[in-house]
Amino acid sequence: MSTALLVEFYHRLPERREGEDPQTWLEQFQSAVVAFKKSAAQSYNEGTLLRLLVSADRDTRQAAVLALGFLGTMATNKPLAQRLHDDDERVRQLAANALWALWFRADGEDNEKELQRLARWQDRGRALTGLNELIDRSPRFAEAYNQRAIIYFQTRQFEKAIADCETVLALNPHHFGAQVGMAQCLMQLRRHRAALRAFRKTRRMHPTLEGVEETIRALEEALGEGGTRDDKK
């Protein structure tokens, strides 16, 4: 299978031109994305796409990451996470998006739809009840715990959020969202040394995640060499 074919599919995605109507462009882009997904699925298998992830060609890596975001199984979790360290910014952005898509569909189509539905709910109480039920049915569905951790964070139940983040990371050690979520909870609990360690772990997972480097520098400056707080986590 020619590498150039996947790149050709990728290059058919329209770039928005200056002055172009946003809605018109969005409709064209969405249609092109559907066509890209279909063409990639017909022409490539997961193994071939994984090999293309490490191509020396930037556009090939971009195209492979995008395709795996639509088509990959959890077998692509680690290879996609490695692309968060790519030299190309676009590859890194696509890899982060691909991982989120992968994590949501990791437990099958039915549970993906249910989780997407619950994540959109504005009523946190009802969403939390639904997530509890989903976790009871699928106790190894890491993203369900992560979405529950988000609700716990929003409702200032930080210890519960941390516990769920720990579960997510035990099930999926590449989940940078849970890692940074844990760090944010520790900040709210004023456990600053633990937060610093958690943010540093986030940086190792996703070196360019927005806001992380700045927070690390601020914590390092605040704590300094003479910091005396002794956190347990």
Which segment of 12-16, 78-82, 103-107, 159-163 scores lowest on mean pLDDT? 12-16
Same domain, 116 and 190: yes
Q: What is the pLDDT of residues 60-91, one digit of tens each?
A: 999 999 999 999 999 999 999 999 999 999 99
Same domain, 207 and 114: yes
Return d(Cα 19, Cα 14) in angstroms, integer: 14
**69 three-state secondary structure:** helix
User: Residue 143 belongs to what H/E stretch?
Assistant: helix 142-154
User: Residue 194 belongs to what H/E stretch?
Assistant: helix 192-205
Q: How many CA atoms lie within 13 Å of 119's alpha carbon, on the beta-carbon side?
A: 15
Residue type at position 168: V
Q: What is the pLDDT of residues 214-227, one digit of tens each?
A: 999 999 999 984 33
Domain span at residue 217? 109-223
Same domain, 74 and 120: no
Same domain, 186 and 127: yes
